[in-house]
Structures are given as structure tokens and as C-alpha cells.
Structure 1
Amino acid sequence: MLRILRELHKKKLISMGSIKELKILFMSALANHQLINDYFCLNLLASYGVFFGRCLSGLLLIAYYWTSILETNIRNESMYDLISFEKWFKFMFISIFSSISVVIITMTCKRVSQNVTNVIMNCYLLQSKIRYNSYEYKEIRALWTFIFENQLTFTAAGFFDVHPSILLSISASSVTYFLVLVQFN
């Protein structure tokens, strides 16, 4: 879809074939978007839940590790608890490594939504290059309206839209729950 828009921008020539091809490409992207939202939304929601759990358990392990270091320092023991540090390090490495997929999926969903916004802007710019009363202008206007009304937004089972700020929100809420758990011991 973006390739066709780049070609239209370079040639400054708009034909009905290219507009129809752009419409067909957007319709296939819309159908794929619906399939992804229908079949993978629960998996995506579960992935965000696991991401939250990993963040919270990692913070709890950090607290456990630091309290064990403080206890060894209070007892004036010269040896640190390396076994608990090794367990914590392995857990954190596995947690971060397995959370990469959630970050990749989130960024991919953002990129697809951003590309649809770019298509809307390019359709709007293409309108200015065409005569107002022409058939091509009406077709681009109809395509622009259709794309604008049917923007591709990915959701996690309909609970929230998927975008990068979700990762920050999940991390912040895990820190909040961690602080509550530490206060109530």
C-alpha cells in the first residue's frame, strides 16, 4: 500500500487503476486486522498479564535479594548470598528475554496504525493534485473517508488499545503493587 502511494507521489500521475489497487490493498489490510483482533486478542491480553506478573515478581525478587544482602551485612558475614543472586539474575534474564515478544507485538501494532494514518495523509495530499470535479478526486475522497472511518486499531480483547504507552502503564502499575506488597509485608 505504501509502495503505491510512493509511486503516486513520484509520478504525480493518478490513475483509476492505482486508486483501485490502493483500495484493494486497504481492504485486505482491514480483513487481516479483523482476523488478528478476533483470533489473537485473548493471547495478547494474556501476554500483557504475564508481562505484568514478570515485572512484579522481578521487583519482589529484587527486594528479597537486597534484604538478604542487608541481613548478611548486619551479621558481619563476609560472604554474600551468591546463590540467591544467581537465581535472581537467571529469573530476570529469562523474564526480560521472554518479554521481548510483547514489546515487538506492541511496536508492530503501533507501526501498522501509523502507516494507516500516513495513508490518510497521503490521500489528502493527493486530492490537492487532482482537479476538483474529476472522477479520480471523488474516488480518492471516498477512499480517504472510508480509511478515516475504519482506522486500524488493535485491541487486547476489547479491554484497551494496543500502543507503546501500555508497556509503561503495566510497568508503573507493577511498581505500585510492589510498593503496596512491601508496605504490608
Structure 2
Amino acid sequence: MASTRSRNLAALTLATALLATLAPATASAAVIAGPYSTQRTDAPPVKVRGEVDQPRSFSMDRLRALPQHTVRVRYQTSHGAEKHTFTGPLLADVLALAKPRIDTEAKNAQLRLFVTATGSDGYRATVAWAELDAGFSGKKVLLAVAQDGKKLDKEGPRLVVPGDVKGGRYVSGVVRLYVGNADAVDPA
């Protein structure tokens, strides 16, 4: 039994040394993380759920395949004023693919909808549907895939709400978008 362990240890040492000569970065990551690691190098997909007819998931590549918009924003944070340029699809375009449930019989029914974005750290913020709707406010609310020219592939997409004085609704690493209806929360 000791002989088998010695051979296994020798094989593992040899494999590690071989990997180190072929791809040092990969080898060190494999040794540190182990063969069954769940470490991610890419952001998880964004899941769209709630009051939609076609729940969807969007990878960063899929978000990049949608029409891209660029906005320049300024907002206050606890660290002071920030100024950035974000690029990505309009949140309204992303949500349209999931087909939100809007009661066409009710007057301005879309105004009862809201969208809650949840980040990978559990942080959440909500946007009223009227902010997205071109017939009402029509803000260019983005699900940004790039910030200041840098791809957000590791961090994940970021909710960007132009016009906000504070950056509280700029949710980083968005993993879920929930479309809700105020009638379900506060029925008449």
C-alpha cells in the first residue's frame, strides 16, 4: 500500500512539473484550485424570471450580441464623485426577449411593472418600468458589458441607471433580473 501511495505521489509531482513547464499560469491555478474546482473565470449568466412568458438566461456573449449603447454618467458614491462610460444593451431590449406579461386591457398596465436586479453578492436595486419605457421616461438604462472600455467578463454585467445622482442602483455582477407586478404585491 505504501508503494502505491509513493507511485501516486510521484505521478502527481511529475504531472505538476510537466504542467508547470507547458503552461505555468494554468499549472499554478490547477495546483491551487484542484481538479474539481468551481472557480469561475467568466461571469455566470443573467437569469430573467418573474412576470415573463419566456424566462431566459443571458451569457456575456449573448448580451454583447444585442444592439449596444454607450452612456456617460456621473454619480456620487461613498468614495466621492465618479465619472464613467458604460456600454451594453438597453435593459428594455434584454427584458423584451423574455416577453414581460402586460395586461393589455388595463390602462397603462406597464406602469405597474418593476425590475429588480440582483448582483452576485446579493445586493439588489429596483427600477420602475416607466424608466425603461420609451413612451414614458425612456432612460437608457443599460445592462453594461463594458466600463471605461474594459470588458466586465469576470465581474459580470452592471446595471446602469443614467440620471441617478447617487450610484446606489448601479448593481455590479448582475446574476438575476426579476420582473414584478405591483398588483401582486399590493392587490386592489
TM-score range, shorter chain: under 0.3
Larger radius of gyration: 1
TM-score normalized by the length of structure 1 = 0.22
Q: Looking at secondary structure, tell me which structure has more strand per residue.
A: 2
Which structure has more RCO (C-alpha within 8 Å, separation ≥ 6)?
1
TM-score normalized by the length of structure 2 = 0.22
